[in-house]
């Protein structure tokens, strides 16, 4: 008897599905259906009424999918339940269509599922500002860290005059940086909080010269609207706000007025408590909810959706294990529909696992960078540009082949 050759295919995205399907059947009229049937997703819906949860479960079973609810739902021993749906993309299409005519708010549930899947699977808009364009669907980008501070945890004091800062920016560009992120106020525990004038005095001269002398996108790392305003006037195109637009109430409006890009970082609490660990009911779920609040602030201020990037805030109001959980589950943040930035470079969560001081954390930082890219990050904020560029090049070759 001849051997039957079988294997499991690791199909996790639309591109891979199409590639494998076309090896066997190139019928374009059926390609979409085949692709949708090959991709399986778990979608969680929070706090549905017991009637809605029961009916949703029935509708899922009708199309051959599954909807997991609390055991108390069937007996009406609860008023609400989360629901976890397990289905292929094809089954979700059928389910969302069928829910359009259902009661108990299931029409809105169906629309929410449809939009969430669309955001997760859809391409990001191309970011354009002045001479700079960022296509997060085709490329991964490096944001080089330029700390012009005396007290940053890794490179404090190295670049705190204009000439040294410009020299370092040029060096990072030559090593492969796409963006230079300039920060004047350290966020390490115990660092001094600067006045607006102190921060302006540090950053503005450097941004002015950098904009004139170096052709590279400039980001200002600040949570103060006045600093963001002056930075944008002098050539910055990105505002990297560690408070997620929740600190200074005017900063979102400033970003909108300049049609700049907003990097919205997750933080629970405020600047004064950002290094204190916080309670989370469900870490990724809670981060997504907090992001939606920040995104709402951005939308009200008039910041375009295509000008928003999210950063889960590694090392800010998170425990050691929570930092690693974020990196492991990073792909779940794609359901929000925005490019993801990860800044884990040389941070203490690496040192605590490897028992290494900050100057020895390069290998750990590169490991974090590799997994972050594999799990959906579009931008890496790093100290070590040259080494990170090599990691991205190898990952791109693994995914897309030798060019």
* Secondary structure string (H, E, C) spanning the chain: CCCCCCCCCCCCCHHHHHHHHHCCCCCHHHHHHHHHHHCEEEEEEEEEEHHHHHHHHHHHHHCCCEEECCCCCCCCCCCEEEEEEEEEHHHHHHHHHHHCCCCCCHHHHHHHHHHHHHHHHCCCCCEEECCEEECCCCCCEEEEEEECCCCCCCCCCCCCCHHHHHHHHHHHHHHCCCEEEEECCCCCCCCCCCCHHHHHHHHHHHHHHHHHHCCCEEEEECCCHHHHHHHHHCCCCEEEECCCCCCCCCHHHHHHHCCCEEEEECCCCCHHHCCCCCCCCCHHHHHHHHHHHHHHHHHHHCCCHHHEEEECCCCCCCCHHHHHHHHHCHHHHHHHCCCEEECCCCCHHHHHHHCCCHHHCHHHHHHHHHHHHHCCCCEEEECCHHHHHHHHHHHHHHHHCCC
Q: What would the two tokens of residue 160 be?
A: 């705190």
User: What does the mean pLDDT of the chain come to?
Assistant: 93
Q: If you count them, how many residues does the chain have?
A: 403
pLDDT at 246 over 60: yes
Is the fold of 39-121 the same as that of 127-400?
no
Structural element, H or E, at residue 42: strand 40-49
Specify the pLDDT at position 26: 85
> Per-domain residue ranges for the chain?
39-121, 127-400
pLDDT at 366: 98
**Contacts with 248 (C-beta within 8 Å, 6 or more apart), sequence order:** 223, 224, 225
For 275-306, write each residue's pLDDT tens digit.
787 889 999 999 999 999 999 999 999 999 99
Span 55-74, pLDDT tens digits? 999 999 999 999 999 999 87
Residue 149 reports pLDDT greater than 90: no
pTM for the whole thing?
Answer: 0.93
Higher pLDDT: 73 or 254? It is 254
Average pLDDT over residues 232-239: 98
pLDDT tens, 194-234? 889 999 999 999 999 999 999 999 999 999 999 999 999 99
pLDDT for 159: 66
What does the H/E/C string look like for 91-156? HHHHHHHHHCCCCCCHHHHHHHHHHHHHHHHCCCCCEEECCEEECCCCCCEEEEEEECCCCCCCCC
The two tokens of residue 44 are 């969680």
pLDDT at 158: 66
Report which of 264, 376, 254 is spatially closest to residue 326, judged by C-alpha positions: 376
Domain 127-400 has CATH 1.20.1050.10: no
* Tokens representing residue 77 in the block: 């021993």
What pLDDT does residue 155 have? 54
Closest to 320 (Cα-Cα) out of 370, 354, 271? 354
For tokens 């300049």, what's the residue?
A: 258
Given its phi and psi angles, is residue 11 left (phi above 0), alpha (psi -120 to 50 degrees) or beta? beta
Q: What is the pLDDT confidence band of residue 129, given thresholds at 50, 70 and 90?
A: confident
Q: β-strands 261-265, 308-311: how paired?
A: parallel
Q: Does the pLDDT value for residue 167 go beyond 80?
A: yes
Q: What digits encode the pLDDT tens for the residues 349-366?
A: 999 999 999 999 999 999
Architecture of domain 39-121: 2-Layer Sandwich (3.30)
Confidence of residue 1 (pLDDT cuts 50, 70, 90): low
Output the pLDDT for position 77: 87
- The mean per-residue pLDDT over the stretch 80-100 comes to 97
Q: Which residues are catalytic?
A: 347, 381
């Amino acid at each position: 008897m001849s051997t039957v050759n079988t294997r499991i295919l690791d199909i996790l995205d639309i591109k891979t599905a199409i590639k494998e399907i076309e090896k066997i059947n190139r019928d374009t009229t059926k390609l979409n259906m085949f692709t949708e049937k090959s991709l399986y997703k778990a979608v969680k819906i929070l706090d549905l009424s017991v009637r809605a949860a029961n009916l949703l479960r029935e509708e899922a079973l009708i199309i051959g999918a599954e909807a997991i609810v609390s055991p108390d739902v069937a007996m009406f021993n609860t008023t609400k339940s989360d629901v976890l749906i397990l289905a292929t993309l094809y089954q979700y299409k059928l389910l969302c269509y069928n829910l359009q005519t259902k009661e108990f708010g299931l029409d809105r549930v169906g629309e929410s599922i449809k939009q969430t899947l669309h955001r997760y699977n859809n391409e990001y808009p191309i970011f354009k500002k002045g001479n700079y364009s960022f296509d997060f669907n085709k490329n991964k980008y490096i944001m080089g860290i330029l700390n012009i501070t005396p007290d940053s945890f890794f490179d404090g004091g190295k670049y705190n005059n204009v000439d040294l800062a410009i020299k370092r920016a040029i060096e990072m560009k030559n090593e492969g940086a796409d963006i230079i992120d300039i920060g004047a106020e350290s966020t390490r525990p115990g660092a001094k909080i600067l006045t607006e004038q102190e921060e302006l005095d540090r950053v503005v001269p450097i941004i002015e010269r950098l904009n004139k002398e170096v052709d590279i996108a400039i980001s200002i790392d600040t949570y103060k609207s006045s600093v963001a305003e002056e930075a944008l006037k002098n050539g910055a195109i990105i505002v990297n706000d560690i408070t997620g637009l929740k600190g200074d109430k005017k900063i979102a409006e400033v970003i909108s007025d300049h049609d700049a890009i907003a990097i919205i970082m997750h933080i629970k609490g405020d600047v004064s408590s950002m290094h204190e660990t916080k309670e989370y009911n469900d870490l990724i779920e809670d981060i997504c909810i907090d992001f939606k609040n920040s995104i709402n602030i951005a939308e009200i201020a008039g910041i375009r959706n295509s000008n928003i990037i999210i950063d889960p805030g590694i090392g800010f109001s998170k425990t050691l294990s929570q930092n690693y959980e974020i990196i492991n589950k990073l792909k779940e943040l794609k359901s929000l529909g925005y490019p993801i930035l990860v800044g884990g470079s040389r941070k203490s969560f690496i040192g605590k696992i490897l028992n290494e001081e900050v100057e020895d954390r390069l290998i750990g930082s590169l490991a974090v960078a590799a997994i972050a890219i594999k799990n959906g990050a579009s931008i890496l904020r790093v100290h070590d540009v040259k080494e990170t560029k090599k990691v991205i090049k190898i990952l791109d070759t693994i995914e897309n082949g030798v060019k």
